[in-house]
Amino acid sequence: MSDKPIPVTSPLLPPLEEFIPYLEEIWKSRILTNCGTMHQALEQALCEYLGVQHVALFANGTLALVAALQALRITGEVITTPYSFVATSHSLLWSGLEPVFVDIDSHTLNLDPAKVEAAITPRTTAIMPVHCYGNPCAVDAIQRIADTYGLRVIYDAAHAFGVKDEGGSILRHGDLSILSFHATKVFNTFEGGAVICPDEMTLQRINHLKNFGFADEVTVVMPGINGKMNEVSAAFGLLQLKHIDRALEQRRSIDRHYRELLAGVSGVCCLECGYQAFANHAYFPILVGEAFPLSRDELHHYLRDNGILVRRYFYPLISDFPMYHGRPSAKPANLPVARAVTEQVLCLPIYPGLGRQDVERIAGLISAASLMNTRTHREW
Ligand SMILES: *Cc1c(COP(=O)(O)O)cnc(C)c1O
């Protein structure tokens, strides 16, 4: 048994003394929120860092998703993936929309574009795919379908901070993308999120939506929500940007180390991510296959008993939660790939600050488990 449990993720937390000057500035200004100087500075800095046109900051990623749907006046049915964090589909229900689940591709674990067309009905107005684990969706194929049927595309890019493909930021695809800056994500502002937007008109709508619909002091143009990010969170984001490249490098090296150590372990498979120009290594998912002597749940149990707090992201499927499972598209027969993957996936710890020895111990435990001789062996 280890001394201290190893979590699956841990927030990027720069030295406290580096944050003090930001707090002093906020105290001096006496402006704590309402899109003050920190908020404006972070929007500008993120546009530059991410290489995108416009960023609208939010109090969290879920509000950003809801605002994105409303900004584009999405109605009726929206095609989405069952293999994600539950906020993806919840944002549809909060907007009075009908989620329609389509199965995922077995390599990317993202929405399978080959299965999207069959799910389109006269009520379909949009597609909401997820760049799961930060791995890019089949953006060209999805756009082709959207163009053919006149659909909008809103990417849930909550996992995809800093991810690029050959042409630049992955966030430039579709009509809008949203990010989450929750403490568990690659880049965090304690709680936070953003809508990434290519045009000024839509940006203006989004900015009204996140501030009660106020266009100026006396004019309310829509029933907006309070979705603004506060100044302390924005300041923390500015500080974090100074450390993000180093953090991404550390994630990259942990990813590489796991792959080397697990390459010879039969029955476990690491998800590919090498085909893109720049990955962010937000997660390290493995699939525990039939050839492995333990089931996924047994391996989960075994690692947790050894102080490794691995997580089953994403299990259960969103489509299995009670508010979704009655829908025809949520039926198991409609989602065979997602169903198989959700029973096999396990996310291993990955975060800046996770030591090489910890990675070796985790891989060593998995390797030892691979030598146990039966699936029902439970002697630990
Ligand atoms: C984290 C996450 C969200 C929600 O973001 P919050 O900032 O926690 O509201 C949405 N979608 C996905 C895929 C996520 O992982």
Q: Check pocket membership of 369 for ligand 1, CB cut-off 6 A.
A: no
Question: What's the 158 CA to ligand 1 centre distance in angstroms?
Answer: 5
Instruction: Provide the pLDDT confidence category of residue 272 given band limits of 50, 70 and 90.
Output: confident
- Give the start-to-end residue ranges of the domains of the chain: 16-239, 244-379
CA dihedral 85, 181, 187, 342 (to 10 degrees): 0
Task: Give the torsion sign (CA, 290, 159, 323, 348).
Answer: positive
227 CB within 6 A, ligand 1: no
Question: For the purposes of burial, counting CB atoms within 10 Å of the CB of 80, is it exposed (0-12), middle (13-18) or buried (19 or more)?
Answer: buried
Nearest-atom number in ligand 1 for the CA of 184 is 1
Our answer on whether the CB atom of 129 is closer than 6 Å to any ligand 1 atom is: no
pLDDT (tens digit, 9 = 90+) per residue, 26-84? 999 999 999 999 999 999 999 999 999 999 999 999 999 999 999 999 999 999 999 99
List the CATH code of the domain at 244-379.
Answer: 3.90.1150.10
- Ligand 1 center from residue 180 Cα (angstroms): 5
- Report cis status (omega within 30 of 0) of the bond before 236: no
Find out whether the beta carbon of 308 lies less than 6 Å from any atom of ligand 1: no
The CA 87 to ligand 1 mean position distance, Å, reads: 6
Residue 1 has pLDDT above 60, yes or no: no
Is the per-residue pLDDT at 130 higher than 70?
A: yes
pTM summary value? 0.96
Q: What is the pLDDT of residues 198-245, one digit of tens each?
A: 999 999 999 999 999 999 999 999 999 999 999 999 999 999 999 999
Does residue 177 have its Cβ closer than 6 Å to ligand 1?
A: no
The domain made up of 16-239 has a fold known as Aspartate Aminotransferase; domain 2 (3.40.640)
Mutate to test the pocket of ligand 1, among 8, 66, 83, 85 (most ligand atoms within 8 A of CB): 85
- Which phi and psi (to 5°) does residue 196 adopt? -100, 125
- One DSSP character per residue, 219-270 reads EE-S---B-PPPHHHHHHHHHHHHHHHHHHHHHHHHHHHHHHHHTT-TTEEE
Say yes or no: CB of residue 344 within 6 Å of ligand 1. Answer: no
